[in-house]
Structure 1
Amino acid sequence: MDSVSNPYTPNAGASPDIIVGRNEQTKAFETLLRRLSRGRTHQSMIITGLRGVGKTVLLNEFGDIARVESWEVLELEASKHDDARFRQTMASLLKAALLRLSPRVKWTERARKAAAVVTSFALSVDQQGTWSLAWDVEPEEGFADHGDLGMDLTDVLVAIGEIAKERERGVAILIDEVQFLSARQLEALIQAIHKTVQRKLPVTFVGAGLPQIAELAGDAKSYAERLFQFPKIDSLGDDDAAEALTEPAMAEGVVYEPDAVALAVEITKGYPFFIQELGYQVWEIAERSPITAEDVEIAREGYEAKLDSSFFRVRLDRATPLQTAYMRAMAELGPDAQKAADVARIMGRESTQLGPTRAELIDMGLLYTPEHGYAAFTVPDFDKFMLRAVPSLVVPEVQRRRKKTAG
């Protein structure tokens, strides 16, 4: 079939032709915006889930919904930047939002003050002026110039929120990869949003991140669990997975035989990114409609090879030899969350010796802790990839188990 018309999009964060199985989250976001627009408060949300479940796609969908509602959307992918760089990024985004909410030639006194607060926020850690917002607005003394990120971000979001309210608009801050914010940055955002909620201003922060973010938010501010919902998204159910696979093809006049759909759902386990990758590979090898189970089986090798070389490999390549050995030992134990002590035993070491390695892998976003003392992969099927990519793990416990099995 024609590659140009291939309807599948196995790219990081790329929105598929249809989004299925996420109606609950999109309706919750629409409710959030509409309540804030009416001057009422509502819990915001931070979506959590493993890699490949569509968190970024859903966050992009939220951005589209907010724009339809005439909200200003500030989009940011978090990374391990220091507070000064984070402040500069936020200042640039807030400046742009202010100018869209209220063009400079129409500034009221409130808008002028908001602009001055944005300048104060940007200059607070850069008194020498080595970085500039590129506008001639003097800072507002006593606002966003405390030198404390939480206090300063609170001042600037309140100032922007007041302009948004005046203009009968709103501001949605959408942050992906929230787990990569520093504790100080996450705390500052939560603190600032808490104040806008108290003032009933149309400002919200919605994030997406790995499963540990709910715990991180709670550690940052004890009231985070009351300020946010933490909906978890996972693989799609069988019916939704089947729809995600077949509907894009049907739009191109191509159908799947029922056993082909069943096999594809079994292979992908309903993970949205995996569905897009398998669908793409099937389309490339199928010669005609309807697509058969044989087509899906033939495409399976290319599908696994593509995942191994990109989706999985890019994460393994970031790991040190010891980190790789730790993940390989986890894979030896199976796909579930594993006790730190069991992983250490497989590696022939003490758990305390490997504590820093485990912490590093969590910090890198390769592992998360579903409960105390346990760690799990943040990527579905990563255990199977580790067994394929690192076929031998020469450590005492593995050798002993293999000798026992052979005997």
Structure 2
Amino acid sequence: MDAIDNPYTPNAGASPEALIGRDDQTTAFRTLLQRLDRGRAEQSMIITGLRGVGKTVLLNRFVRIATEANWEVVEFEASKHDDSHFRQTMFSQLKSALLRLSPRARWTARARSAAEALSAFAVNVDQRGTWSVSWDIPPAEGYADHGDLGMDLTDVLVAIGEAAKENSRGLVVLIDEVQFLAASQLEALIQSIHKTVQRNLPVTFVGAGLPQIAELAGDAKSYAERLFKFPKIDSLQGDDARAALTEPAMSEGALFDDDAVDLAIEITRGYPYFIQELGYQVWTVGVANRITKADVELAREAYEAKLDSSFFRVRLERATPLQTAYMRAMAELGPEPQKAADVARLLGRDSTQLGPTRAELIEMGLLYTPEHGYAAFTVPDFDKFMLRAVPTLEVPPLRRARP
């Protein structure tokens, strides 16, 4: 079938033709904004899930919902940077949001106060010589200038929240890959949102991250579990999985045979990114707007090769030999979460010797800890890929300590 008409979008964060199976999350987000609009408190959200389940796609949908509701949106992807870089990012985004909420020519006292708080927030970084502030508003004194990220960000979000409330508007901060925020940055966000809730301001923070983020948030602030909901999204099941595969094709006048759908769901296990990738490959081999089981079988090799060369391998290439061996040992033990002691035994090491390696893999976003003492892959089917990519388990020799 015509490649130009291919309705599948196997790209990171690309919105599919139809967002299937996420009605609960979009409804919860609309409820959050509507309650804040009415001056009623509601828990913010951090969406959790494995790679490829559509967290970024869901955040992009939230952007559209918020914009349609006349809310201002600050959105970015978290990365492993120090607090100065985080301040710079927040300043730049919040400055733009404030100017959209209230153009300078129409500033009230509250809007100017928010601008001055932003200047103080920025000056705190500028004094360290890390970046230059293109903002000619004099900084507030004694406000957002404490030198503490949490206190400063709290002052800024409260000030912007008051300006937004005055204009019958709201502000939502959307952050993807939340697990890559430093502990101080996550703590600052939680602390500042907590204060806007106490002040009854139309400000909220919604994030998305890997499964460990709920634990990280709880470690950052003990009240995080009361401040946030942590909805988990996973693979699509039943009719939702089938619809995610077949509806894009139907939009282009193509139909799947029932047994072709059954095989496709068996191969992809209902993971949204996998469905998009398999659908894309099937489209390239299908003919006459009818997709058969034989077409799915024919496309399967190209589908697996594409996943191996991009979705999977890009993560393996970041690993050291010992990290690779650790993941290969986990894969050999099976797809379930693996106990650290069992992995160490297979590698011929003690758990304490491999503790740093396991911690590194968690920090890299390749593993997470579903329960104490266990680790699992953050990428679906990564165990199968490891067995294909690293046929033999090879354990690097121990490094001898220097005398």
TM over 0.5: yes
Q: Distance in 2 between matches of 1:131 and 1:113?
A: 23
Deviates more, 1:34-43 or 1:281-290: 281-290
SS of corresponding position for 2:207: strand
Q: 2:38: which partner in 1?
A: 38
In the TM superposition, 1:318-397 aligns within 5 A as 318-394=318-394
Q: Distance in 2 between matches of 1:38 and 1:189?
A: 23
Q: Distance in 1 between matches of 2:232 and 2:22?
A: 11
Cα drift, residue 394 of structure 1? 3.8
Contact 2:72–2:97 (Cα < 8 Å) also in 1:
yes
Contact 2:322–2:395 (Cα < 8 Å) also in 1:
no
Contact 1:123–1:129 (Cα < 8 Å) also in 2:
no
Matched to 2:223, the amino acid is: Y
Q: 1:100: which partner in 2?
A: 100
Q: Distance in 2 between matches of 1:51 and 1:350?
A: 30
Q: 1:74: which partner in 2?
A: 74
Cα drift, residue 233 of structure 1? 0.4
Q: State the 4+ residue runs in structure 1 displaced beyond 4 angstroms.
A: none
Q: Does 1:254 align with 2:254?
A: yes
In the TM superposition, 1:265-280 aligns within 5 A as 265-280=265-280
Matched to 1:178, the amino acid is: V
Q: Distance in 2 between matches of 1:395 and 1:322?
A: 7
Q: Does 1:22 align with 2:22?
A: yes
Cα drift, residue 130 of structure 1? 5.6
Cα drift, residue 135 of structure 1? 2.3
Cα drift, residue 288 of structure 1? 2.0
Contact 1:92–1:133 (Cα < 8 Å) also in 2:
no
Cα drift, residue 66 of structure 1? 0.2
**Identity value in percent:** 77
Q: In the superposition, relative to structure 1, how do residues 388 and 327 fare at CA in structure 2: closer, same or farther (>3 Å)?
A: same
Matched to 2:378, the amino acid is: T
Across the aligned residues of Structure 1 and Structure 2, the Cα RMSD in angstroms comes to: 1.0
Q: Distance in 2 between matches of 1:337 and 1:129?
A: 45
SS of corresponding position for 1:124: helix
Q: Distance in 1 between matches of 2:129 and 2:95?
A: 17
Q: Distance in 2 between matches of 1:103 and 1:223?
A: 36
Q: Distance in 1 between matches of 2:297 and 2:350?
A: 43
Matched to 1:272, the amino acid is: P
Cα drift, residue 136 of structure 1? 1.1
Q: Distance in 1 between matches of 2:147 and 2:128?
A: 14
Task: Please give the per-residue CA displacement for 1:123-148, whole angstroms capped at 9, x wherever unaligned.
Answer: 11322666333121000000100000
Matched to 1:373, the amino acid is: G
Cα drift, residue 167 of structure 1? 0.5
Task: Please give the per-residue CA displacement for 1:371-396, whole angstroms capped at 9, x wherever unaligned.
Answer: 00000000000000000000001459
Q: Distance in 2 between matches of 1:128 and 1:58?
A: 37
Q: In the superposition, relative to structure 1, how do residues 301 and 41 fare at CA in structure 2: closer, same or farther (>3 Å)?
A: same
Task: Please give the per-residue CA displacement for 1:10-52, whole angstroms capped at 9, x wherever unaligned.
Answer: 0000000100100000000000000001111000110000000
Cα drift, residue 290 of structure 1? 1.4
Structure 2's unaligned 5+ residue stretches are 397-403
Q: 1:283: which partner in 2?
A: 283
SS of corresponding position for 1:73: strand
Q: Distance in 1 between matches of 2:206 and 2:256?
A: 37
Q: 2:53: which partner in 1?
A: 53
Q: 1:238: which partner in 2?
A: 238
Task: Please give the per-residue CA displacement for 1:145-181, whole angstroms capped at 9, x wherever unaligned.
Answer: 0000000000000000001100101001000000000
State the number of aligned residues: 396
Q: 2:176: which partner in 1?
A: 176
SS of corresponding position for 1:280: helix
Q: 2:64: which partner in 1?
A: 64
Task: Please give the per-residue CA displacement for 1:202-236, whole angstroms capped at 9, x wherever unaligned.
Answer: 00000000000000000000000000000000000
SS of corresponding position for 1:125: helix
Contact 2:56–2:208 (Cα < 8 Å) also in 1:
yes
SS of corresponding position for 1:8: coil
Matched to 1:96, the amino acid is: S
Structure 1's unaligned 5+ residue stretches are 397-407
Cα drift, residue 113 of structure 1? 1.1
SS of corresponding position for 1:208: strand
Q: 2:121: which partner in 1?
A: 121
Q: 2:399: which partner in 1?
A: none
Q: 1:297: which partner in 2?
A: 297
